[in-house]
């Protein structure tokens, strides 16, 4: 008993020491993070919640703790606009699993000590201003780390040979830096690696043999370096490889036959090298390919027919080679098809019309002859069809696309005819009527068919044919006339309904009337009291513009206030009245300073009108592309417009509304230059539109449309709006349209900006009408934000609420007055 009490007394005496020791351990995380904070700049006070008096940091902004140990497990400060150097305070976080500091302004060099943290699994320092070399021993400190990203910095020097020491590494991204020297063979020792991205550096020399040891590797990207020699013979022994990109290097020689084993590979780009020889027939064995880019090489011979085995192929680029022979007959599901700048001959096969997914076709600068198959008019999703600089002849296929095809897509085909090329086609004459001499006895034995009477008969037959033709023309004209009269009668009936609905007599009554006169509702209540009747809605002189869903007219209320009325032209696709009204009322409740307010609606089964506030300043499209240099928007105005659009979209998404149709012509500017986004959520009124019909309906939004519109297996979400917003940001900054049709190419604005930015030529991207009057500390991050928003993968795009936060973070205090001088 005495010994038991002595034990209890001993334990009680140790409790204060244990408590003191536990507090010290617990406070290590607080002390480490406070020390880290003390060495950096926080211009947006994102770390204001970091208080050194707290017992633990688990509720601090950007911090997550392990629920069991209550120790810091995650430090995620991405996009906080923090600057300064990475201090040693982070080394106190002994239980840290994830350190993510991307999209900030951290500078200085790397320290190997970061990888000494035993619990660290993920390190992301991408998109900062880190410089210097990767120190020797950096990778040698690896413990259990899984993911390292140092992309988009200014790190130089060689990749250390100790990179092979990170045996647990699953993802390594060193892209978009200034790394030089050769690719160390030790990198193929990382047999747990699944993703390797070393693109856009200055690596030289040959790709070392040994990739076959990477039995877990799914993706390798070496694009944009200075690598030479042949592709290693064991390239195809990396059997799980899904994506291989070695474009924009100086590789040469043939394709190694082992590549035929890459049966799970979906993306293969070998573009912009000096690869030569014939494309082997076994390319058809890579039957999972969705993208195949062999452009800008020295390949020769015919286009292999085995390409027809690639049933999942969506994009094929063989341009700028020396291919000869004919155009392949079948390319399965191909869509964005490029065979330009080769020596292809023969005609365009009719079977091309079977590729119903085709969107972009480029056969320019070949020696293709013959006529264009008329079946091409059946291609439902065609956006671009470039056949310039060939030897084609005859007329163009009928249909809306070929009626409006840009003339630059047809140049240098002397035999083509039609209004688009300003060259009339020769008339088509009817075949002459000919009697069969074997169908009756000798003419001399029949007085009716004697030579004299036969001549007379031919004249009669000719006159009869002319009479028949004239009669047919009269009948056709009568049918057309009756159809037009019926159409006008129907339009008149619709107009009468509108006149009744908007007449002064009607407006003095309740907004709900019987089915014959329709239903007019103004959300603000009371009677609308239009000063003009339906003629203002239907009068061409009052038309403000037309879009994919209908025409817009201006009219005036009796109190002098102007409104805009959209007359929907897709009545057969509109929901039932109940569903239509429910959706319109929902849109009417979504109010925001940067949204065009929906003030009311009019309904009949055959006619629907939407009544909006009138915005007097014109569209953003007009200000960007149709105004003179003396009236151009300043950088300050452009930034305000970008921020206003972002806020409006964030507000829509908060209310679970997808815009679907974002473009510069749908952004209006009010009298003070404040942006207002219009046409919000109209696609929801049209449930019968699938994504393909929708994409054709809003075809004027070409260039703003997210790539998932082309894939039925990918869900359409608000990330589509984020993509369109990103394109709109680049359009506002550059003053260029989202898509430019060059003489022999189609250039996407996002691709052009990305390439120019990678070359460090930011000033060349900006609208020249700004005359260089823009702060780089704002324009560069805004441009990068626009590119991030146009990511091909929806999950890589930020939420619009995050975009607003980033833009507000980028905005610096204006120390200098706004410049009013222009070029």
Which residues does residue 133 pair with via DSSP β-bridges, in sequence order? 156
Nearest-angstrom CA–CA distance, 608 and 133:
65
pLDDT top residue among 709 and 434: 709
* Cβ neighbour number for residue 447 with a 10 Å cutoff: 9
Does the pLDDT at position 14 exceed 70? no
Does the pLDDT at position 20 exceed 60? no
Q: How confident is the model at residue 400, as a pLDDT?
A: 67
Does the pLDDT at position 534 exceed 60? no
Q: How confident is the model at residue 570, as a pLDDT?
A: 56
Nearest-angstrom CA–CA distance, 701 and 723:
12
Nearest-angstrom CA–CA distance, 603 and 589:
18
- The DSSP secondary structure of 350-409, one letter per residue, reads GGGGG-TT--EEE--SS--EEEPPGGGGG-TT--EEE--SSEEEEEPPPSHHHHS--GGG
Nearest-angstrom CA–CA distance, 675 and 337:
38
Q: How confident is the model at residue 11, as a pLDDT?
A: 35
| pLDDT tens track for 74-121 | 999 999 999 999 888 898 999 999 999 999 999 999 887 888 888 899
Nearest-angstrom CA–CA distance, 172 and 162:
14
**CB of 537 within 8 A of CB of 551?**
no
Among 356-365, 618-627, 651-660, 689-698, name the one with the lowest average pLDDT: 689-698
Q: Per the structure block, which two tokens stand in for 237?
A: 């022994």
What is the domain partition of the chain in residue ranges? 476-614, 617-823
Nearest-angstrom CA–CA distance, 377 and 350:
11
In eight-state DSSP terms, residue 182 is B
Residue with tokens 């090298």: 273
Selection from 34-48, 411-425, 468-482, 780-794 with the highest mean pLDDT: 34-48
Q: Per the structure block, which two tokens stand in for 693?
A: 């019909």
Q: How confident is the model at residue 439, as a pLDDT?
A: 37
Q: Per the structure block, which two tokens stand in for 471?
A: 């009669």
Among 214-228, 235-249, 279-293, 355-369, name the one with the lowest average pLDDT: 355-369
Q: Is 567 annotated as a binding residue?
A: yes
Does the pLDDT at position 52 exceed 80? yes
| pLDDT tens track for 111-151 | 878 888 888 999 999 999 999 999 888 888 787 899 999 99
Using DSSP, state whether 238 is helix, strand or coil: coil
Q: How confident is the model at residue 701, as a pLDDT?
A: 52
Which residues does residue 676 pair with via DSSP β-bridges, in sequence order? 668
- Would 476-614 and 617-823 be classified into the same CATH topology? no
Does the pLDDT at position 166 exceed 90? no
What is the arithmetic mean of pLDDT over 321-334? 74
Q: Per the structure block, which two tokens stand in for 105?
A: 């302004």
| pLDDT tens track for 184-196 | 999 998 988 999 9
Q: Per the structure block, which two tokens stand in for 374?
A: 């008329």
Name the nearest CA neighbour of 734 among 810, 803, 633, 656: 633
Does the pLDDT at position 795 exceed 70? yes
Nearest-angstrom CA–CA distance, 443 and 425:
41
The domain defined by 476-614 carries CATH number 3.40.50.300:
no
pLDDT tier for residue 442 given thresholds of 50, 70 and 90:
very low
Which residues does residue 468 pair with via DSSP β-bridges, in sequence order? none
Using DSSP, state whether 66 is helix, strand or coil: coil
What is the arithmetic mean of pLDDT over 30-52? 93
pLDDT tier for residue 532 given thresholds of 50, 70 and 90:
very low
Q: SS3 string of 310-323?
A: CCCCCEEECCCCEE
Provide the CB-side half-sphere exposure for 572 (13 A, CA): 0
Does the pLDDT at position 722 exceed 90? yes
Q: How confident is the model at residue 710, as a pLDDT?
A: 62
Q: ∠ CA 811-814-820 to the nearest 5 degrees?
A: 115
Q: How confident is the model at residue 481, as a pLDDT?
A: 53
pLDDT tier for residue 238 given thresholds of 50, 70 and 90:
confident
**CB of 649 within 8 A of CB of 677?**
yes
| pLDDT tens track for 501-514 | 444 333 333 344 44
In eight-state DSSP terms, residue 736 is -
Does the pLDDT at position 777 exceed 70? yes
- At residue 453, φ and ψ (nearest 5 deg) are -70, -30
**CB of 280 within 8 A of CB of 257?**
yes
Q: Per the structure block, which two tokens stand in for 565?
A: 């009325």
pLDDT top residue among 814 and 550: 550
pLDDT tier for residue 28 given thresholds of 50, 70 and 90:
confident
What is the arithmetic mean of pLDDT over 637-651? 94
Q: What counts of helices (H) and strands (E) characterise the chain?
A: 14, 40
Does the pLDDT at position 455 exceed 60? no
> 793 CB contacts (<8 Å, ≥6 apart)?
none
Residue with tokens 């390594």: 172
Exposure string for 812-823, b = 16+ CB within 10 A, e = fewer: eeeeeeeeeeee
Nearest-angstrom CA–CA distance, 286 and 354:
22
Does the pLDDT at position 679 exceed 70? yes
First CA to last CA across the chain, in angstroms?
Answer: 98
The domain defined by 617-823 carries CATH number 1.10.510.10:
yes
Q: How confident is the model at residue 333, as a pLDDT?
A: 55
* Cβ neighbour number for residue 686 with a 10 Å cutoff: 20
pLDDT tier for residue 497 given thresholds of 50, 70 and 90:
very low
pLDDT tier for residue 9 given thresholds of 50, 70 and 90:
very low
Average pLDDT of the chain? Answer: 78
Q: How confident is the model at residue 757, as a pLDDT?
A: 82
Does the pLDDT at position 339 exceed 60? yes
Among 41-50, 114-123, 241-250, 275-284, name the one with the lowest average pLDDT: 114-123
> 359 CB contacts (<8 Å, ≥6 apart)?
335, 336, 381, 382, 383, 384, 710
Q: How confident is the model at residue 817, as a pLDDT?
A: 39
What is the arithmetic mean of pLDDT over 8-12? 36
Residues written for the chain:
823
| pLDDT tens track for 594-629 | 999 888 888 877 777 888 888 888 889 988 988 776
Q: How confident is the model at residue 553, as a pLDDT?
A: 81
Nearest-angstrom CA–CA distance, 147 and 646:
32
User: Strand pairing of 562-568 and 607-613?
Assistant: antiparallel
Q: Per the structure block, which two tokens stand in for 8?
A: 């209890």
pLDDT tier for residue 431 given thresholds of 50, 70 and 90:
very low
pLDDT tier for residue 456 given thresholds of 50, 70 and 90:
very low
Percent of the chain residues past pLDDT 90, beyond the cut: 32
In eight-state DSSP terms, residue 434 is -
Q: SS3 string of 574-625?
A: CCCHHHHHHHHHHHHHCCCCCECCEEEEEEECCEEEEEEECCCCCEHHHHHH
pLDDT tier for residue 350 given thresholds of 50, 70 and 90:
confident
């Amino acid at each position: 008993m005495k010994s038991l009490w002595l034990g209890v007394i001993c334990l009680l005496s140790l409790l204060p020491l244990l408590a003191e020791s536990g507090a010290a351990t617990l406070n290590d995380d607080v002390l480490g993070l406070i020390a880290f904070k003390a060495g950096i700049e926080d211009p947006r006070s994102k770390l204001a919640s970091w208080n050194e008096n707290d017992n633990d940091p688990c509720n601090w902004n950007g911090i997550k703790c392990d629920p069991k140990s209550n120790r810091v497990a995650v430090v995620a400060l991405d996009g906080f606009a923090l600057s300064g150097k990475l201090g040693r305070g982070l080394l106190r976080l002994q239980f840290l699993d994830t350190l993510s500091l991307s999209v900030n302004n951290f500078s200085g060099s790397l320290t190997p000590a970061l990888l000494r943290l035993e619990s660290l699994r993920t390190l992301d320092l991408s998109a900062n201003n880190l410089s210097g070399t990767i120190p020797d021993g950096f990778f040698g400190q690896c413990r259990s780390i899984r993911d390292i990203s140092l992309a988009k910095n200014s790190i130089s020097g060689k990749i250390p040979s100790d990179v092979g020491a990170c045996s647990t590494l699953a993802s390594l991204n060193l892209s978009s830096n200034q790394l030089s020297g050769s690719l160390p063979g030790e990198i193929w020792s990382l047999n747990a690696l699944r993703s390797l991205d070393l693109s856009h550096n200055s690596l030289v020399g040959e790709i070392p043999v040994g990739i076959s040891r990477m039995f877990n590797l799914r993706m390798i990207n070496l694009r944009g370096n200075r690598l030479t020699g042949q592709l290693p013979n064991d390239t195809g022994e990396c059997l799980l490889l899904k994506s291989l990109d070695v474009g924009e290097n100086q590789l040469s020689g043939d394709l190694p036959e082992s590549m035929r084993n890459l049966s799970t590979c979906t993306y293969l780009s070998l573009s912009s090298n000096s690869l030569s020889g014939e494309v082997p027939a076994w390319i058809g064995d890579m039957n999972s390919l969705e993208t195949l880019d062999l452009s800008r090489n020295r390949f020769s011979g015919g286009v292999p027919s085995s390409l027809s085995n690639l049933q999942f192929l969506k994009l094929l680029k063989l341009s700028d080679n020396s291919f000869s022979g004919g155009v392949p007959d079948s390319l399965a599901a191909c869509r964005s098809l490029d065979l330009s700048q080769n020596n292809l001959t023969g005609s365009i096969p009719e079977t091309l019309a079977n590729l119903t997914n085709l969107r972009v076709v480029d056969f320019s600068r070949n020696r293709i002859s013959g006529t264009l198959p008329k079946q091409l008019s059946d291609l439902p999703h065609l956006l671009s069809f470039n056949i310039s600089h060939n030897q084609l002849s005859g007329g163009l296929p009928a249909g809306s696309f070929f009626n409006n095809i840009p003339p630059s897509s047809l140049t240098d085909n002397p035999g083509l005819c039609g209004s688009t090329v300003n060259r009339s086609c020769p008339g088509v004459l009817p075949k002459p009527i000919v009697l069969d001499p074997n169908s009756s006895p000798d003419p001399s034995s029949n007085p009716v068919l004697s030579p004299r009477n036969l001549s007379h008969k031919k004249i009669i037959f000719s006159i009869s044919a002319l009479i028949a033709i004239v009669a047919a023309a009269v009948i056709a004209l009568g049918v057309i006339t009756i159809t037009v009269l019926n159409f006008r009668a129907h339009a008149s009936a619709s107009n009468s309904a509108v006149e009744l609905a908007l007449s002064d007599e009607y407006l003095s009554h309740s907004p709900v009337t019987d089915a014959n006169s329709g239903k007019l509702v103004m959300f603000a209540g009371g009677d609308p009291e239009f000063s003009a009747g339906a003629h203002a809605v239907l009068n061409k002189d009052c038309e403000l513009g037309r879009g994919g869903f209908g025409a817009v007219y201006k009219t005036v209320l009796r109190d002098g206030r102007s409104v805009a009325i959209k007359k929907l032209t897709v009545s057969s696709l509109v929901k039932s009245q109940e569903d239509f009204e429910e959706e319109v009322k929902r849109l009417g409740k979504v109010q925001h300073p940067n949204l065009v307010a929906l003030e009311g609606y009019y309904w009949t089964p055959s006619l629907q009108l939407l009544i909006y506030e009138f915005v007097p300043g014109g569209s953003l499209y007009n200000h960007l592309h149709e105004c003179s240099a003396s009236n151009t928007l300043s950088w300050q105005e452009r930034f305000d417009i970008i921020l206003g659009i972002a806020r409006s979209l964030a507000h829509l998404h908060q209310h679970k509304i997808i815009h679907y149709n974002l473009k510069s012509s749908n952004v209006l500017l009010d009298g003070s230059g404040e942006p207002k986004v219009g046409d919000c959520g109209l696609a929801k009124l049209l449930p019968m539109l699938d994504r393909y019909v929708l994409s054709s309906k809003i075809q004027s939004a070409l260039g703003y449309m997210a790539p998932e519109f082309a894939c039925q297996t990918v869900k359409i979400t608000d990330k589509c709006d984020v993509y369109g917003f990103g394109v709109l940001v680049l359009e506002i900054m550059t003053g260029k349209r989202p898509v430019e049709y060059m003489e022999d190419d189609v250039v996407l604005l996002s691709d052009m900006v990305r390439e120019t930015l990678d070359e460090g030529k930011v000033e060349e991207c900006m609208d020249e009408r700004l005359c260089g009057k823009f702060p780089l500390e704002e324009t560069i991050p805004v441009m990068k934000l626009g590119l991030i928003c146009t990511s091909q993968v929806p999950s890589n795009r930020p939420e619009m609420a995050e975009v607003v936060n980033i833009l507000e973070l980028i905005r610096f205090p204006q120390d200098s007055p706004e410049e009013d001088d222009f070029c």
